[in-house]
Structure 1
Amino acid sequence: MQLPSALTPLRHPAFRLLWLANLCSNTGMWMQNTGAGWLMTSLAPSPLMVSMVQVASLLPVFLLALPAGALADIVDRRRYLIFAQAWIAAAGSLLAILAWTGSLGPWGLVALTFAIGVGTAMNSPAWAATTPETVPRQDLTGAIVLNGIGFNLARTVGPAIGGFTVAAAGAEATFALNALSFLAVIVALLLWKRDEPRASLPKEHFLSAIRAGLGYTRASPVLRGIMLRGFIFFLFAAALWGLLPLLVRQQLGLGPEWFGIMLAAMGIGAVGAGFLLPTLRARLDRGRTVTAAGLLTGAALVLLGQAQHWTVAMGAMLLYGVGWLAGASTLQAAAQLSVPSWVRARAIGIYQLVTFGGLTIGAALGGWGGETFGIGYAMGLSGALCAIGALLVRRFAIEPPAAEAAPPAADAPAMPRPEPAAQSLAALLNEESGRVLEVVRYHIDPADRAAFLAAMGACRAARLRSGALGWRLYEDVAHPERWVELWLVESWTEHLREEGRMTEWDRLVLARAAALHRGALPPEASRYLNVMPGMPD
């Protein structure tokens, strides 16, 4: 029996194991979110305090996404993930105990929600970066969408179970079940036989890894476009998370089980969208899909803000789920596909820093707007801004141009590489050797000056993406045919890492610049070591 196209990635055993475990933990997390949101409506029933629960769960991702991504790229990823799950389970257990004994106040709930958010923040980039390790590249987009389906399937089941659990046994029961759910993830990670990539070079240092990740992001227009569009989408879509508990309780006059049902309706819409996305991708590119998602999400928020009956609210939540899944999974897939494996967790961490920053600010603004203008008005205004924002940022590309996606030409000339003698220096030099200045000298026909400058602009981005700390291009004043390209790397070890960080597109960019060189020999490459590291470069 052939699987539906949306479920194809489940044929890979490692992905299937981790996907099912993650489904379990996400279900527990949504049960806890439902219990925490509803409990706060009793402990401190103001829009600002209820929205603080969402802020506390989102803020750690904003604060820790970048260091979490760097750690996930430089330590054993499997052990790192096990530690993160254990942290979340411990914080969830403490939350359950305090709630059970009646010792939990509103700020205690916020603090422990923040602690659980810390574990989630440390977990998220590493977990996302495992997906390309468990499926081949042709199934990667489908796997990312399926992760979104699983997340929203949990969003469908978890809040509904959470709402009825709160009604039957109190919020503390949802906290305990959430802590137990993370044991399934720990077991799955212990069973996962990960093939750790072998490296001939030492692991990157923490600060160096962060610097390389930031440098790659600055030099990647596509990744910057993804982050900008993600920030705008999540900034205005986030109002729902802070205001929905009060909208259900005050505007609709319903109980906790209906809060869970509303979130379940959103999950149903999201799961349906996940199954439709493979067909949609054949008609719309990722950029237009994200724009359409922003418009649909905005319309759903406007409708929800005006709802006075549960049927209207349910319809709005279904639409919101479709728009949310289409926008979030498409942006996540674009972020993962736009970066090479060596920097993937860091790039995802930076992407999550930006998007969760939008979510955190949006949830706080939603709570402030509900406090100041009323819940319905604040929800409707957020929806209008979500749609307007989607239209304003639609010109920023979130996938590489067709030329960049194509394989390099077979006859493209190669850039000069380190000489064998230089490579043998690796035994003598190390990451404490001091900065290395790399130099390539060109002879360019003055008639090709404009073409060369354009080619070198692309070279600059390739060098920076591969770890250069700085880049310069100089023209000889007396001999305009002579040019020198300079870039600086942190150490000899970083110089040796450059080659492995280059993508096929980066190599083609460098080869196109080399093709403009005129002379019997290729461009001359040299490397200079800073022999006095204590002195400024």
Structure 2
Amino acid sequence: MPAAFAPFRHPAFRLLWFANLAANIGLWVQNTGAGWMMTSLDPSPVMVSLVQAASMLPVFLLALPSGALADIVDRRAYLIGAQAWVLTVAALLAVLTYAGWLGPWGLLAFTFAIGIGNALNFPAWAATTPELVPREDLVQAIALNGIGFNLSRAVGPAIGGFAIGLAGTEAAFALNAVCFLVLLLALLAWKREAPRSALPSEHFLGAMRAGLRFVAASPAMRAAILRACTFFFFTAAIWGLLPLVVRQGLGLGPEAFGTMLGVMGVGAVATGFALPALRVRLPTRGGMVTVFSLVSAAALALLGVSGHWAPAALAMLLFGAGWIGAASTLQAAAQFATPAWVRARAIGIYQLCFFGALTVGSVLWGWAGARFGIAPALLIAAVACAGAALAVRGWRLDGAPAADAPSVPMPKPDAPAAELGPLLTERSGRVLEVVRYTVDPADRSAFLAAMEEARRVRLRSGAVAWRLLEDVAHPERWIELWAVESWAEHMREAGRLDAADRAALARAAAFHRGDGPPEAARYLSVRA
């Protein structure tokens, strides 16, 4: 099997990929039907634009909460529930439209409700991909997901228009319901092996806080978010200005606008299939994103100077290539940066940031087009996109090579006293953890550097606060302190550490000078 199709070797991925393709086609059919129906119910530009806003607003409102839910409940059951919600709302929308009982605000309400289902689905679906394929196929699996999305964007509106012309808007809404039924049946057929844990599930608000702390303490995740925001903010100029380029710059109609989007889809699909070969020439994810960002910048510039449909189409072809190359590589970097226990909520934060950058960028570049002209705005965006891509290339997406972990005894606290056992629950209150080190003063600088990485490990694994204290009278004595929200959260810490985390803690412990490992203790917060 060619490398571009390697993830299809795995039956679960193959089943869910085709089912998700059907659901994405249904989503574009739904968007086409809703936009067209609003032009009949209330053709004002504000109401028509609110259809798109109603479909996207739930992503901003629910990205982190939906990611937290997808991490703390069974993910298969969660996805089934999300698809069942969309199926129910879509079917009800089709019935009400057929009966003629739907007005413009009702249409917006149903569009928002379907957007809720999609917002619930996005982080969970992204976090599911690593469960379906082995690590070596993950990048191409994400690329195939991008190819599927672009295929659906190319054919979905056309299918929607045909359905509307043949049987009315209600037929488009009914078709969306059928497409989500396909995905629901595929999820029911998927036999997922859910991870088992003896610990109680995380609480909803605590899970969201843990996700935010993980992202804040993860350099690789912060790099993926920063570079995604940089890329999507500047390339958003295409989405904000393309309709005006086609109408005003090229003097063409809506058919040409649809064709330009189709050409972009062709570039995206072709590049998605070529990504395995490209990764051989550009082995680092950071290098891939930089190159595809420069390709996108060149497409922006070419579109800005185009006065004929042919160079404009070439620009959109290049933009499709740059878009899927950068977007799929950034998403893969975010996936690799997150362990399974926090993946959905971390991806939710990632999606919240890049959707925000895309939305703000579209508005800003639209304003720039009105203020300076369409062509100057696109050229400014092109130069800024190229400059930003080069400026942020030092933010590593691949992570530094892991250093070997020294073989040293690790700190281990004493077992809890039997009489305190009933207090050690998920409602225990905060737990303070302490490790005492004895370090040669000559190693002070190296020890501080090791403890900086230990700080990030503690925060990623659940600490709400961390401190390192030095004894002013005895410079060889150090105390590391960190607090977690409860005893149950403390018990989760060990399961959240991966091999790199344990190696970082071992490097810090290796500086301890003494007969045994550093002394460790745990203290329970009590009310006086």
For normalisation by structure 1, the TM-score amounts to 0.89
SS in 1 for 2:281: coil
User: Against the structure 1 CA distance between its residues 383 and 120, is the aligned structure 2 distance closer, same or farther, given a 3 Å change threshold?
Assistant: farther
Report the Cα offset of residue 155 of structure 1: 2.4
The reply on whether 1:389 has 2:384 as its aligned counterpart is no
Give the alignment partner of residue 431 of structure 1, picking from 426, 435, 439. Answer: 426
- After alignment, is 346-355 or 167-176 more displaced? 167-176
Letter in 1 for 2:385: C
**Match in the other structure for 1:229:** 227
Q: Secondary structure at the match of 1:234?
A: helix
Give runs of aligned pairs for residues 434-453 of structure 1, distance below 5 A. Answer: 434-453=429-448
- CA distance in 1 between counterparts of 2:240 and 2:163 reads 21
Superposed, 1:103-502 pairs within 5 Å as: 110-165=108-163, 173-245=171-243, 247-248=245-246, 252=250, 254=252, 256-284=254-282, 285-369=284-368, 378-402=377-401, 404=402, 408-409=404-405, 411-420=406-415, 429-502=424-497
Change over 3 Å in CA distance of 1:118–1:236 after alignment to 2: farther
* Partners of 1:59 and 1:356 within 8 A in 2: no
Unpaired segments ≥5 residues, structure 2:
none
Aligned partner letter, 2:280? A
Listed as ranges, the gaps of 5+ residues in structure 1 are none
2: CA distance, partners of 1:119 / 1:214:
23
Q: Secondary structure at the match of 1:10?
A: helix
Cα shift at 1:62: 2.0
Q: Secondary structure at the match of 2:469?
A: strand
Letter in 1 for 2:430: R
Cα separation, 2, equivalents of 1:341 and 1:367: 39
Aligned AA (1:57)? S
Contact 1:34/1:260, CA 8 A, preserved across alignment: no
Rounded Cα–Cα distance in structure 2 between residues aligned with 1:18 and 1:344? 19
Q: Which amino acid letter does the alignment assign opposite residue 466 of structure 1? A: S
Is the 8 Å Cα contact of residues 50 and 242 (structure 1) preserved in structure 2? no
Q: Which moved more, 1:297-306 or 1:4-13?
A: 297-306
Q: Deviations over 1:392-427 (max 9, x none)?
A: 32222222112x2x6x44x52242234455799777
CA contact (8 A) 1:160 1:257 kept: no
SS of the aligned residue for 1:473 comes to: strand
C-alpha distance in structure 2 between counterparts of 1:168 and 1:14, whole Å: 35
1:23 aligns with: 21
What secondary structure, in the 3-state scheme, does the structure 2 residue paired with 1:282 have? helix
How many angstroms apart in 1 are the aligned matches of 2:142 and 2:421? 39
Which of 502, 505, 511 aligns to 1:507? It is 502
**TM-score normalised by length of structure 2:** 0.91
Q: Which residue of 1 aligns with 2:515?
A: 520
Number of aligned residue pairs: give it.
526
| Distance in 2 separating the partners of 1:445 and 1:386 | 49
The one-letter code of the counterpart of 2:159 is I
SS at match of 1:438: strand
Q: Is the deviation greater in 246-255 or in 284-293?
A: 246-255
1:464 Cα offset (Å)? 0.5
Q: CA RMSD in A?
A: 2.9
Question: In the alignment, residue 316 of structure 2 is paired with which amino acid?
Answer: M
Deviation at 1:265, TM superposition (A): 1.7
1:333 alignment partner AA: A
Counterpart Cα distance in 2 of 1:368 and 1:97: 40
Residues 58, 359 of structure 1: 8 Å contact kept: no
Per-residue deviation, 1:251:
5.0
Q: Distance in 1 between matches of 2:377 and 2:43?
A: 20
Displacement of 1:364 after TM fit? 2.9
